[in-house]
Amino acid sequence: MNLKPNLIVIEGDSQGRSPWLNVPPTVAAQSPYNSDLTIMHRIATGDVVKAARNCRRQPIFDLWSMVIGQPPPVPGVQDSGEELTCLTDAHACFRGIQRPRAEDNDGSNVIIYVLRPSVFYVHDPNMRTVAQLRELPRNLVFTVFVRMDEPFALGAGDTGIVTHWQFVEAEIVGSIFLPQNAGTRYEERLW
- Contact predicate 41/162, CB 8 Å: yes
Report yes or no on 59 lying in a domain: yes
Q: pLDDT tens digit string along 71-95?
A: 988 887 776 677 899 999 999 999 9
Report yes or no on 10 lying in a domain: no
Range of the domain at 36: 19-189
If one compares 12 and 98, the residue with the highest pLDDT of the two is 98
**Residue 116 pLDDT:** 96
- What average pLDDT does the structure give for the chain? 83
Q: CA 91 to CA 170: how far, in whole Å?
A: 13
The winner for highest mean pLDDT among 11-15, 67-71, 101-105 is: 67-71
The torsion defined by the Cα of 135, 172, 96 and 88, in degrees rounded to 10, comes to 50
Domain total in the chain: 1
Q: pLDDT tens digit string along 115-153?
A: 999 999 888 877 677 888 889 998 999 999 999 987 765
